[in-house]
Structures are given as C-alpha cells and as structure tokens.
Amino acid sequence: MPSPRKLILVHEPEKACLERLIAAGYPSARALEISSYLAQSTDLAPEFDAIAEACRARGLSFAPVMLDDAAGVLAGEDPEAVLVWTLTDGIAYFRGGAAPALARLGGFDTVGADDSLFALCQDKFRSGAVLGALGLPVPQAGLARDGKWLVEPPASAKGWFVKPNRLGAKIGIWPDSRVADLDHALELSRRVFAAYRDDVVVQPYVAGRNVRASFLGLTPRTGVEALGVAFVDSGGDFQTMADSLALYGETGEAAKATGQYAEPDLVPVADSQPAADARIREIASRLMSGLGLRDVFSIDLRVEPDDTVHLIEFEVCPGLPCFDFRAYCRQQWDLTLAEAMAETAASRLAG
C-alpha cells in the first residue's frame, strides 16, 4: 500500500544558530545580528498549524523539521511519498544548504533549485561571475579581505558599494557602505572582517530604485508569467543591518511593540515602467533556463528611470513569511502563504 503523501519543511532556527556562533567565539551582539537572517524560521513557526490544515485539505500531511534533526527524520521516510522544502539556505554562517543535499542523497524530490545553487547564491563574488558569464546585467565586482584586495574592483565614476560576500544578502551593513574612494572600501573590509569574519564584495555603485521579483510555481508547468515584479520603496537608497533587524524575527517583533516597524511600499514596476518589467522577466527566464532556478525564488534588482536594469542577486530561499512574498501570494495567486505552500506541494506530489 502506498505511503501517505507528506510535505517536510526543513528549517534552521535562529536560536540554534545563535548558540552555535557564540560557541564559535562570536560576540553576542554580532552573533545576534548574523542569526537574525534566519528570522523567517521564527516568523513562520506560528503558522505551522495553518500550513498543516491547508495540506490536510489537499490530501497530504505536513511536518516541520529542524535542520539538526533532518538526517534522522528523512532516513525513516519513503522517498516516493515525501517532498522536501528547505526554508533556509547557507554554507557559511548558516547550514540550510545541507538540506537539499540530504534530500538528494536519500532520493527525495524537493521544492526549489538543486543543491549546487544553494551553495552558489551564498557566495556573491562567485555567483556574480557566473551571472556575468550568462550575459546578465550584473555589476562587476572586486573582492577584499581584511583590508587587502584579492581582486581589485573596476573603476567607477559614481563610487562603489561595499557588502559582505557570504553574510545575508545585498545589505551594506552600515550607512557608509556607499563609498567615494577605495581606501574607504578597504576600511569597510577591515570592519566587516573584524565583526563577521567575512570578505567584502566591492561593486560600482548603480543608481535606481530597488526591485524585488518573486516567484512561486504552484504547478511544475508555471512559467515566468507568474513572476511578481515590484519596486520596494523604503525611503532609503539601500538596506542596512539596522533596517533588516527592524523588519523580521524577534527584533522585528520588538520593533512592532515600540512602533518602529514600518513595511516598505510595494509598487508594481509595470505600472510606471513596463519596458523595465519586460526586461526583468527576460532576466528571470534566463535564470530559469540557464542557471536552473525553479519552483520558488526571488531576484533583487535596481531599475533606473530610463529602464536600465541591474541584476544584484538571486535567492533560492526567499523570505516566505516576509511582507513582500505574502503580498505576492495574495496578488498573483489569491492565496494565503499557507495555502500557496500547500497547493505547491500538492501539485508536486500529484505529479
């Protein structure tokens, strides 16, 4: 008799990461900042019951599994009946990239890209090189470690933007992450190395508004037409660590309690710049066909007033419980996040 169908969601909790980083010698404040990138595990946990109910309504069960328990849990499951969805990625500070590799080892189908992309997206310098080789409009980059160039950045009349190579995403950490001279960039690399033990990517500064493109394929046949493309207007040129902390997880809850929480505005790009929207969809299509993005992902870009598009990065584990992805599920699919996850899982398990 066939085993009952099941969705297993593998997630790495903030608390487990925080304790591991402190044990590795990180100061508590820095460890808290780093672990905050796992806030989607914290933010989604209160909805596990809703996801389970949405799955039951579609004939499957749901099991959230902490990353450290994943190997043991998967060892007792039937690969023919189980689908694995990895909530958090990571190859350095975080370890979620191990989950799709474990699933592949056990013969389980997964939601999302294969495990090679889980590793690539977490190294901004290497992923930028691959994106450039695919002919995509990603800024060239230099790489610095603790005040020394590993790769010198290209010249830039508008200055440069400095961000960690493996920590989190596109944020600049501090308000002075846009720099006018390369000595300042090297100073930031020393600060990042001292605080987070990471290299920095140094890219020519690109102007424009921030854009988030979100994708969830409710069925395996869903294509780029389902991409949601929106300006993310927060009032600032770029997101800092402080901005990120105020939006998500336990620190985000504290910000809500003190009235300091404010979600950025989401405005469809197609409403004012349809040519840029079309170009972004071309980029997403190229990422799907040439790089292998599928099922669920997000892309961060900058769009200039003349419709010039700059690709900043891609994410294989978009922040599902974040305001922007929830809005995407409502607008594109007319579903809550829990319903959209369950519908996606059911369509994969049925096929």
> 224-272 pLDDT, tens per residue?
999 999 999 876 655 555 655 555 555 555 555 555 556 788 999 999 9
Per-residue confidence band for 2, with pLDDT thresholds at 50, 70 and 90: confident
Q: CA 148, 149, 154 angle in degrees (round to 5)?
A: 145
Give yes or no for residue 283 having a pLDDT over 90: yes
CA dihedral 333, 334, 335, 340 (to 10 degrees): 0
Contacts of 71 (CB under 8 A, 6+ apart): 102
pLDDT in tens, 324-342: 999 999 999 999 999 999 9
Residue in the block written with tokens 């593998």: 10
Asked if residues 7 and 345 have their Cβ atoms less than 8 Å apart, the reply is: yes
The CB density around residue 158, as the number of other CB atoms within 10 Å, is 11
Higher pLDDT residue, 244 or 223? Answer: 223
pLDDT at position 175 is: 83
Angle between helices 337-350 and 48-56 (to 10 degrees): 40
Mean pLDDT of 187-191: 95
Q: What is the pLDDT of residue 269?
A: 98
**At a CB cut-off of 8 Å and minimum separation 6, what does 153 contact?**
140, 141, 142, 160, 182, 185, 202, 203, 204
> 108, 82 in Cβ contact below 8 A?
yes
Do residues 46 and 62 lie in contact, with contact meaning Cβ atoms separated by under 8 Å? Answer: no
**Residue 170: pLDDT over 50:** no
CB 327 within 8 A of CB 216: no
Question: What is the predicted pLDDT for the residue at 263?
Answer: 76
- The bridge status of strand 200-204 relative to strand 142-145 is antiparallel
Per-residue pLDDT tens digits for 94-148: 999 999 999 999 999 999 999 999 999 889 999 999 999 999 999 999 999 999 9
Domains present along the chain, CATH in parentheses:
6-112 (3.40.50), 140-204 (no CATH), 209-350 (3.30.470.20)
pLDDT tens string 29-39: 999 989 988 99
The pLDDT tens digits for 291-321 are 999 999 999 999 999 999 999 999 999 999 9
> Whole-prediction pTM value?
0.91
Check residue 90 and give its pLDDT.
Answer: 84
Cα angle: 192, vertex 36, 102; to 5 degrees: 100
Q: What is the mean pLDDT of residues 279-294?
A: 97
Q: What is the pLDDT of residue 332?
A: 97
Q: Find out whether 165 and 201 touch, Cβ atoms under 8 Å.
A: yes
Q: How confident is the model at residue 242, as a pLDDT?
A: 61
How would you list the strands of the sheet with 142-145, edge to edge? 148-151, 142-145, 200-204, 160-164, 178-179
Dig out the tokens for 27 from the structure: 């100061």
